[in-house]
Amino acid sequence: MEKYDTAFKEIVLDLLSSGYSISQLAKDYQASLITLSNWLKSQ
């Protein structure tokens, strides 16, 4: 089972593309910067 589901990933990626800071999102959603960076790269 994945730690994060697809819907959550889509929400975070939408927020990133809307101009939110990756470090702020990592803090707010308690996800690692590495995880969020990997999601952004794989988009």
In this predicted model, what pLDDT tens digit does every residue of 10-29 receive, in sequence order? 999 999 999 999 999 999 98
Q: Quote the DSSP letter at residue 4.
A: S
Residue 31 makes CB contacts below 8 A (sequence gap 6+) with: 4, 12, 25
pLDDT at 37 over 60: yes
**Could you tell me if residue 34 is inside a domain?**
yes
pLDDT band at 3 (very low <50, low <70, confident <90, very high): confident
Task: Provide the residue range defining the domain that includes 36.
Answer: 6-42
Q: What's residue 4's pLDDT?
A: 86
Asked if residue 10 belongs to a domain, the reply is: yes
Provide the token pair at 19.
Answer: 């101009």
On whether residue 15 sits in a domain, the answer given is yes
Task: Count how many domains the chain has.
Answer: 1
Percent of the chain with pLDDT over 70: 98
Residue 1 lies in a domain: no
Q: Using the predicted structure, report yes or no on whether residue 42 has a pLDDT greater than 60.
A: yes
Domain membership flag for residue 26? yes
Q: Which of 7, 42, 13 is nearest to 22 (CA)?
A: 13
